[in-house]
Chain A
């Protein structure tokens, strides 16, 4: 089936993803037209562009991914006409594509009020990255004062952008309050006060009659009440209008005031054409938020692959932070429902305003407004969406909880099974319950299984409550203590070690624990001691803490023998060293295999052989590979620009430097790296804890991916970094992980469990929001400076070597070990083979 999508904005892109996820391979031939030069990006967070000056942070789609998934993407090329008889679209560049199903996701355009002078120079709208670049250019040319016409959600975002650009910003609004659609007068008044406190001028009930030449500044806005305001730059943000011109020319049915009419299946008046997002008109309404657009995109995708579905409207409740001010609005915020009653709480000193709108019988919640404190949003939204009966005194829901007041928030137990917990991924309470009953034991597990909380992250507190509640219901005690010996989490233990400068397990047990310790707390604290001070792990005071592998510096296999993995940084090895590996393997008859991390693994070494093997390896210049530790493992690399025709930068050189920098650093779990020399990504860096990919302008850093049981793609963390910045970020990321993760928690689950996820991590690492940056770097520097090859140290110490023998009182070896040959190498004998061998011998 041939599907054509007109428009590559957020909703158009969401549709492409939704359709590809639903369609069988080869079922759909998909073509996408985008009028902008860039593929889909995040318009909701447009003002962040001014902080990062990088479009890549906002990107949702990229041309390469589309290509990989078989989608034809035409950018910078708008569709000009649709022939509904021949079922063909034609673009401005002259491309003609036939369709079976056509999807219009043309979005909207900013409404510029018909004011005299609205086309003067330095007047802009706020919609695309292109618009932002023009505004930035004007600021650089010396615009000092900027006015936004329109005090809605987007207008306030735009005012923030002007302020961030260093301008004196003003907001001019026609209505008597800010955010007139979402707020009531009380909430609007407080928001105005807060925004004025931030230094932004707010002018309400102002109708601009004309824009003329100013005296001190370029423009003068003249208002109908006789007042005026001078400014260098004007931004129009007075609402949106559906972009329906293509539909109009095609003859599709439109609403009286514009918008492409759609039915409950998102179909237009032509059954082969769908419309979704801000260009679509459903039951007389245009939805100017992204979430309803996504819902339509999913509905259209379902319909096209033949799954019957309905779009039945969308909740327009919203919670956001505007210039640092928390604002939320639910349902009927202005109490327009007949008989509605209102409860209001206003706290002037703390600048908090809350309002509840309830039904005449006081039983159901109709709407709410929250300004200055939106903590109750999640609870109130559940009351509204699920029509849950209100408590006897509904005002308790918004009054502050002081002292020993009984908990008034909505207990998760009261939510119905169908209650939507995560609206980004449509996860219900029932889905979460099922995940917990299916074996998920933590919020991280549930996120992995259901995707809940991995969109905007707003539901994570509610999700956490629900998961803990469900676990308790199942009789699982939710204790975050690491074990019975220490009443602390791993993170707390880390701080106790670091701040108390604790140097041994015995000291830790004495100061903060009880009893003798177990196989949970011993290796965990051993790892923390190593992360902090990086002492020799087989030292007397640490040896009893080391787990199966660390205690003999090898990886124990199923028969009790060990495997040996020397470090081969970046996967680069000289022929001479490779020959040594071969000779050692041959001389000790070790099974030899290449690992996924570009190293060589030698299996079947017995305890007494380990020092002999390592003696030869260390002599030849090898170091331990720490394959046995919960520590930095390998930095995989592709061959890079030195040899590869397509290479953009020296991936091998960087991989070797990274591996040598972090080798042996112990962490809550193993850490894998990779470096690719170009976007072809041959080193598979996006499946690693830390992945680096060369670009024309530096290095892109990806974080928190992994392979294994639950593969997870790494997330793009920062782009076009120079080498020093890259290393600084990795230093900080690793130390922050070591500091805050749970035991045996890999970076992906760790990030999922951080409230705020990737964005929070960026704040901490890039913006240094916690002021920890230098400290984290110093801690990493200390760890690196104490590096030692544990095998070299062990070989130099005859006392330590005594332990490397199967029996303390005999030179005999373990008679239970038997090997057979397979494909010319040894392997452990199966139980049947052992019996046969014994029978033969006797």
Chain B
């Protein structure tokens, strides 16, 4: 699958996320400010059963960057997609980068 451009980098406020529609999938994209990195994961919260993860708070726990679900506050590792509170749960992780100020996702 090829890269899909979803928005401009500056459309994502530092340390927040947005949700993009890529090939019918809901993708949560986060812009991590201090290391200037992007993360892309599924937007679906498997505990709350709702498409809300892009609206969660970014949380650094130890050496992991995570997003905390806005519904019930479980943490999902943005690198692996694994839920920190329940390792049997995970969310999909996608490739993401910015090129010439444009954010692109590949699923």
Contact = CB atoms under 8 A, between A and B. Distances in A.
Interface residues of B, number: 35
A559 B50 contact: yes
Nearest to B11: A808
Interface string A491-520: 000000000000000000000000111111
* Size category of the binding interface on chain A: 20 to 34
Given A484-B62, A518-B61, A523-B57, A816 B51 contact: yes
Contact of A808 (B15, B19, B59, B60): B19
Interface string B29-62: 0001110000000001000111110011111111
A510 B7 CA distance: 30
B68 interface: yes
A549 to B, nearest CB: 8
A814 B54 CA distance: 13
B98 interface: no
B101 interface: no
Contacts of A522: 57, 59
A543 interface: yes
Contact of B71 (A558, A803, A810): A558
Contacts of B68: 518-519
Contact of B16 (A515, A517, A543, A558): A543
A551 B55 contact: yes
B11 A544 contact: no
A812 interface: yes
Contacts of A807: 19-21, 26
B19 A544 contact: no
A540 B13 contact: yes
Nearest to A521: B59
A463 to B, nearest CB: 30
Interface in A539-562: 540, 543-544, 547-548, 551-552, 556, 558-560
B65 interface: yes
A227 interface: no
Contacts of A543: 13, 16
Contacts of B6: 808-809
Most buried by B among A515, A547, A560, A831: A560
Given A516-B34, A548-B55, A831-B49, A806 B19 contact: yes
B106 interface: no
A556 B52 contact: yes
Nearest to B57: A519
B92 interface: no
Contacts of B48: 558, 560
A485 interface: yes
A593 interface: no
Contacts of B33: 516, 544
A809 B59 contact: no
A544 B7 contact: no
B18 interface: yes
Contact of B57 (A547, A806, A814): A547
A554 to B, nearest CB: 11
A802 interface: yes
Given A485-B60, A548-B55, A812 B21 contact: yes
B21 to A, nearest CB: 4
Interface in A34-88: none
Nearest to B103: A808
Nearest to A831: B49
A559 B73 CA distance: 15
Given A517-B60, A519-B59, A809 B50 contact: no
B65 A516 contact: yes
Nearest to B59: A518
Contacts of A556: 52, 55, 70-71
Given A518-B61, A548-B70, A814 B51 contact: yes
Contacts of B71: 548, 556, 558, 560
Nearest to B7: A808
B22 to A, nearest CB: 8
A484 B57 contact: no
A816 B50 contact: yes
Contacts of B62: 484
Most buried by B among A485, A515, A809, A810: A809
A619 B35 CA distance: 43
Interface in A548-589: 548, 551-552, 556, 558-560
Nearest to B14: A544
A188 to B, nearest CB: 60
Nearest to B66: A518
Interface in B1-27: 6-7, 11-16, 18-21, 26
B58 A544 contact: yes
Interface in A784-842: 802-803, 806-810, 812, 814, 816, 831
Please list the 9 inter-chain residue pairs (A to B) with the smallest Cβ-Cβ separation, ordered nearest first.
A544-B15, A518-B59, A548-B70, A516-B60, A519-B68, A560-B50, A519-B57, A560-B52, A810-B21
20 contacts: A516-B65, A517-B58, A518-B60, A518-B61, A519-B68, A544-B15, A544-B16, A544-B33, A547-B70, A552-B55, A556-B71, A558-B71, A560-B50, A560-B55, A806-B19, A807-B21, A807-B26, A808-B7, A810-B20, A814-B26
Given A484-B61, A516-B65, A552-B55, 4 more contacts: A517-B60, A558-B50, A560-B50, A808-B7
